Amino acid sequence: MRHGMSSNLSVRLALTAAFPLASASALAQQSADTPPILLAHHTTLERVTVTSNRPATLPVEIPTTLESITGDAISKSINATDAEDALKYFPSLNVRKRYIGDYDHAVLASRASGTGNSARSLVYADGILLSNLLGNGAGFTPRWGLVTPEEIERVDVLYGPFSAAYSGNSAGAIVDFVTRMPKQFEAHVKLQGSTQHYRLYGTDQRFSGGQGSASVGSRAGAWSWWVDVSRLDSQGQPIGFVVKNLATTTSAAGTPVTGAFADRNPKNVDGLVLGTTGQTHTVQDHAKLKLAYDLTPTLRASYTLGYWRNAAERGVDSFLRDANGAVVTSGPVAVPINIDGRSYSIASTDFAASRASLEHVIQAVGLKSSTRGVFDWEAAASIYDYHRDLVRSQLPNASAPTTGRIADQGGTGWNTLALKGIWRPEGPGGAHIAEFGAQRDAFKLRTLVSDTPDWHGGDAAAPFSGFNGDTSLASLWAQDAWRFAPAWKTVLGLRGEHWRAFNGSISNASTTQPFSDRAESYASPKAALSWQASDDWTLRASLGRAVRMPTVSELFQGSLVAGDIVNNDPGLKPEKSWTAELTAERELGHGTLRSTLFFERTTDALYSQLNAAAGGTVTTIQNIDAIRTAGLELALQTSDLFVKGFDLSSSVTYADSKIVRNDKFPASVGMRQPRVPQWRAAMLASYAPDERWSGSVGLRYSGKQYGQLDNSDTNGYSYTGFSPFLVADVRLQYRVDKQWTLSAGVDNLNNKRYWAFHPYPQRTFHAEIGFDL
């Protein structure tokens, strides 16, 4: 399935949005010319009924689209090696996971936000913030490693900034992992293995990995506890490349070499691929302790301690060989080479390896009242600490071939505090449910880059650069759900926020310059109206404003020249979005069909770009004046369709997302927003003929997208490009008895080669054995 669907399909999608009931029949009787991605649906993405006793930390009243999946469905139907794999088949979502254990680039994308906008979504585990809002982009991904697939009870996803309970970072989506808390003694052990035979350019190699996890928990009287540990040892495929543009003139200079691969970059410029970088071997340890104590039958105290450690090495591989067959790679100085009569130079850093040593700790406490009467309340606090965060990079030179640099982010982190109340003035079942709260989130960035005489393990020597800064966001919010007629309900909300940026500074080897402090306040109204038109039909309209504040790393950017800060915009504005959606949902007896029209207009969008209008030559974070997105999302979920145990669910999303004003870079006006494809689709079909066997087939599709603001990167099938893809996944599970379970599966069964700046994994085989007590 490629970009550029038939006009017949566009008409069908429009009719489906207007007439969901008729579309249910149409989808069941697709004609041969309809793309097969629309014929199937999703395995047990069980819809959550919003009740007061559910364990999630979401608001009681949900004024927007909600999708969910259970831990049992994940185990049976998804080859899940990391927590983010639970989101593989959710409508409109995509996680750019480059390899198993990808810890620093697995960004979540949503309807109107691409994989370069990590700060436009929120990810929680049991209400604890996992989103890394220190920055926005590939290097600031949610801390997925603090959750393992085995401990997931359920995953809930809210779409859009329609709840007053969340900051403007909810513009895209809100993900909440609900993890296990046992009601009686239980224990689980799982061993997983995976392997892919990866072929691309000069790489023809098998990359494999394994993971072991164990968890145990119980409840005794007022106490309940849970312990979860795991270790992942994974070899990912190379994700970076050394590329040289084809030389325009001939020359005899340099050592003749062979082995380079001809290619074209995303802008269709001829070039040569000389080798790979970023082949990552990651060893990650995870440990989590959860404690809960019922102080009274309606008041529970809880504590969570999480630990994540990662030792990662990123290696390099040169394809080049000299006349004697010896490998030609980087040296302490530039290496001149000659390929087919053209001269090139390999820089000392082209084939530079790196290694990381990370230890992160999270702690959270909570106190929650659950009387389900007139008034309930909750208090929660969390701290996320970069206890140790060192990245060592090779940087050789002629006089010291072992030199390098150390980037130290120790002391970086964030903390949160939230107070929440629920008031039911007429008691349970009354016309009003009011929710309100106060929050404070604080973020601290500490980065020191130092030279070192030995990049492998030497101590830090002279400082090279430094970046520091803090932000805080204090918020008051309230929303009221009012059932003003038997079939009608409205949810009205308002969020007020006061933001501060302070302690910012930038340093070079000899000088430190401070940034000015800033403080601003904003208000974000929310509104939703729903109508239960009949027992089968629900219509809902939602509207919300989101103000996404600049992150620490976006604000405190730039460099020092002669003691002055350059390439920085001290007046960087927050993103301000108005988002609306109109949803029609039809109960089908064995499932639901949902049609959602959505619209978003964002002003002052934060993107990295050149200020071409001012003759700029350096790319920095700047404000784009306006981006507009309009689209349609269809989601179909069924259970026991045709035969008992056969579940289907699918979704398809069309998004027309364009830059409508950008005075700093006029060439981008009228172009599509980077990394937001026009078409997305997902399907998962599962069949469980009995209690022992279950199997699933999944499809994931993404249409053409761009990485550049001016859409000049038209070739998506090369390094730094973004290509369309359609991949198939399969999984089979057999429960031997009550304790033992065997599972096997394949991701990317069709072995599609596709890119999202970096190459995705190729066909990957999975095998698992699990024991439950």
Count Cβ neighbours within 10 Å for each residue of 221-243 and write b for 16 or more, e otherwise.
eeebbbbbbbebbbbbbbbbbbb
Summarize pLDDT for 311-352 with one digit per residue, the tens.
999 999 999 999 999 999 998 889 999 999 999 999 999 999
**pLDDT score at 331:** 86
**pLDDT score at 94:** 95
What is the mean predicted confidence (pLDDT) over 609-636? 90
CA 631 remoteness from chain centre: 21
The residues that bridge with 572 in the sheet, in sequence order, are: none
Q: Are 760 and 238 in contact (CB under 8 A)?
A: no
**pLDDT score at 757:** 95
Summarize pLDDT for 516-572 with one digit per residue, the tens.
999 999 999 999 999 999 999 999 999 999 999 999 999 998 888 777 787 888 889
Distance CA 338, CA 635 (A): 55
3-state class of 121 per DSSP? strand
**pLDDT score at 765:** 98
Taking the CA atoms of 344, 347, 353 and 357 in sequence, report the sign of the dihedral they define. negative
262 has pLDDT over 70: yes
Distance CA 730, CA 528 (A): 39
Q: Are 197 and 182 in contact (CB under 8 A)?
A: no
Q: What is the pairing mode between strands 679-687 and 261-264? A: unpaired
Using CA atoms, how far residue 713 sits from 301, 626, 718, in Å, is: 53, 21, 10
Biggest CA–CA distance in the chain, Å, is 88
> Which of 15-19, 214-218, 349-353 has the lowest average pLDDT?
15-19
Type of residue at 649: S
Distance CA 86, CA 189 (A): 19
Q: How many helices (H) and strands (E) are present in the chain, helices listed first?
A: 4, 40
Summarize pLDDT for 725-769 with one digit per residue, the tens.
999 999 999 999 999 999 999 999 999 999 999 999 999 999 999
3-state class of 482 per DSSP? strand
414 has pLDDT over 80: yes
12 has pLDDT over 80: no
Residues 6+ positions from 501 with CB-CB distance below 8 Å: 469, 470, 471, 515, 517, 518, 519, 550, 552, 555
What is the mean predicted confidence (pLDDT) over 222-234? 96
> Which of 53-67, 173-187, 583-597, 675-689 has the lowest average pLDDT?
53-67
For the chain, the average pLDDT equals 90
**pLDDT score at 63:** 86
- For residue 750 the two structure tokens come to 């069709």
Torsion of CA 711, 625, 665, 138, to 10 degrees: -50
Radius of gyration over alpha carbons of the chain, in Å?
26
The residues that bridge with 573 in the sheet, in sequence order, are: none
**pLDDT score at 642:** 84
Summarize pLDDT for 32-90 with one digit per residue, the tens.
333 333 333 333 333 333 333 344 578 888 888 899 999 999 999 999 999 999 999 99
Q: Of 166, 169, 182, nearest to 142 (Cα)?
A: 169
**pLDDT score at 23:** 35
Type of residue at 292: A
Look at phi and psi of residue 4 and say left if phi exceeds 0, alpha if psi is from -120 to 50, else beta: left
- 324: how many CB neighbours lie within 10 A of its CB? 5
**pLDDT score at 40:** 32
Residues 6+ positions from 546 with CB-CB distance below 8 Å: 161, 167, 168, 169, 170, 171, 524, 575, 576, 577, 579
Look at phi and psi of residue 110 and say left if phi exceeds 0, alpha if psi is from -120 to 50, else beta: beta
**pLDDT score at 56:** 58
- For residue 303 the two structure tokens come to 């504590």
- Could you tell me which residue, 505 or 617, shows the higher pLDDT? 505
Domains belonging to the chain, first-starting first, are 21-558+567-772 (2.40.170.20)
Summarize pLDDT for 280-307 with one digit per residue, the tens.
999 999 999 999 999 999 999 999 999 9
Q: What percent of the chain has pLDDT over 70?
A: 93
What is the mean predicted confidence (pLDDT) over 703-719? 96
**pLDDT score at 5:** 36
> Which of 19-33, 367-381, 454-468, 585-599 has the lowest average pLDDT?
19-33
Angle at 417 between CA 411 and CA 419, to 5 degrees: 175
Distance CA 115, CA 97 (A): 10
